[in-house]
Amino acid sequence: MSGSKLKQDLVDYLQRYPEERSQIEDFLELVDGSGDCFSRSNWLPGHITGSCWLVDPTGERLLLTHHRKLDIWVQLGGHSDGEVDTTRTALREAEEESGLAVELLDTAIFDLDIHSIPAGKSDPEHYHFDVRHILRAKSSDFTVSPESIDLAWVAMGDIDTYTQEESILRMRRKWLNR
């Protein structure tokens, strides 16, 4: 599978966020060096995932999930499952995890993050190389999926009462500085 679109998107992202060069180089190394970095069975060092900064129709609230496996509040997202377009992955995951109709607000990558995932039933500890996109919900009436303990619309100023995850706080800073 080809990661050429992702590679170009990463180069474009580097132009906007040169201070994130080291992390972007790690992404590029994974895409160039992995047999199938879009497969969830690519363990070493990990695989590409897609997630979203999902805002309500007004853009004033963020939808967070209380993730069932990780037991923390984070953005919606998940495995690429072979999909090489991280935008499609983010859209699919947002709709599956919230039941909401959503739309892409910007074709550019919004944020990148590499984070450790603890070992699970049959999965070893590994890394998610997460590509984040900005999406907007067409309504506010979500449905909690089995992957979540709960979902919540959170005002931008209240995000840190739900989570201290630096990647979420970094995305809030990026959102507010747009």
Q: C-alpha distances in angstroms, 140 versus 55, 59, 99, 137?
A: 9, 11, 10, 7
Which residues, in sequence order, are CB contacts of 2 under 8 Å at separation 6+? 84
pLDDT of residue 3: 74
- Which neighbouring-strand residues pair with 127? 46, 116
Q: C-alpha distances in angstroms, 1 versus 31, 37, 85?
A: 10, 9, 11
Quick one: DSSP state of residue 2?
Answer: -
Q: Mark residue 81 as left, alpha or beta (left: phi above 0; alpha: psi -120 to 50; beta: remaining).
A: left
Q: C-alpha distances in angstroms, 138 versus 55, 95, 104, 133?
A: 9, 11, 11, 16
pLDDT of residue 2: 58
CB 9 within 8 A of CB 27: no
Calpha distance 142→148 (Å, rounded): 12
Calpha distance 18→119 (Å, rounded): 32
Helix (H) or strand (E) holding 15: helix 4-16
Q: Spell out the domain ranges in the chain.
A: 4-176
Task: Domain 4-176: give its CATH code.
Answer: 3.90.79.10
The pTM score is 0.95
pLDDT of residue 1: 38
Q: What is the pLDDT along the chain (178 residues), one digit of tens a residue?
A: 357 899 999 999 999 999 999 999 999 999 998 668 999 898 888 999 999 999 999 999 999 999 998 899 999 999 999 999 999 999 999 999 999 999 999 999 999 999 999 888 888 999 999 999 999 999 999 999 999 999 999 999 999 999 999 999 999 999 999 9
